[in-house]
Structure 1
Amino acid sequence: MFKVKISDGTYKNVTGAEVKSFWASMKFQIDKPGTTYPSGTKNGASTDANGVTHFSTDTLTGYQARSPDSSEKDKSFDYLISHELAHNTEAGRAENEWQTKNGTKDADGYYLGNEVLANSVAKTIEDDVGLKPLSSPTYGYDGNVVTLSASVNPSPIETTKAGGTLNLYA
């Protein structure tokens, strides 16, 4: 379990059980280039009302293009999934609610605080399960957002992942 500081100054816990639940139920849809999402962007959206996370092919190729070097290109898709999962945690939803009421969007239509929090949570999840996070994703990380309580749990529950097994701790 780890604590995540929301922009309003409060903290939310992210647990292995929450991450495992989202991982098990995540659904993805890849859309044609230029698809406009309910958020008004064409870059992709978080989970819709039916529980489906959408990405346009532009988003997928954009993540690879922004990878700092060729050794990170393959990690970009793992990272994208972890990042979107982070948006859907209780902490991610609370940050989104706060940003929607109080935040300022950047030129691309994103709330900086939302993206930094999702990056920081994604990095923590990837570190905990033994993946190597991107070294410098767009919007970066904030080391003050996440406070580790301990490794989520010493005994992993294995969940099948394309190309291997992702150990999520209950």
Structure 2
Amino acid sequence: GGSIETGNPSSFSNKILAFGFGFLILIISSSYTANLANFLSKQDVRTVKNMKMAIDKQLTICAPGTLQASLIDSYKDAKFEFIYALDYVKTAYKKLEDKKCDVFAADERDVASEIGCSDVLLNLDIALLNVPVGFAVQGKYATGLSDRMKLIQQKMGVTLDDVI
């Protein structure tokens, strides 16, 4: 007895093509799985949420030289690198790239004014210093000045924060 083939005959080239396609699918699925596992298990160890965390991690903080006395008084255990250059943000950014600083403290407006820096830096919005502002006024003028300030605020919408 002879037999009759009911399926399509599989040539050698079809077998090679099927093996190649299966191997391609295997490589793609394994690389996707490996990348996904890496992405999900990666921890961001360089996140700083406040000054205490920066001090605990012993990070070097680039800061403007003009704030040296205030920052050292406020954060005695911090490791600072003070910068006295006029182009502070560019200098601090360069020190970040050169790994001489881990983070840097700057006013948000200064960073925004430097072209290119604000796009690659993360703004953490941490208040480093609170500077109380007071005006020396004789007692006899204090009430009048306070009334005028309230009047200006009501009529023009200008506050002391807008002026300073």
Q: TM-score range by the shorter chain?
A: under 0.3
Task: Say which structure is richer in helix.
Answer: 2
TM-score using structure 2 length: 0.20
TM-score using structure 1 length: 0.19
Structure number with higher relative contact order (C-alpha < 8 Å, ≥ 6 residues apart)? 1
**Structure having the higher Rg:** 2
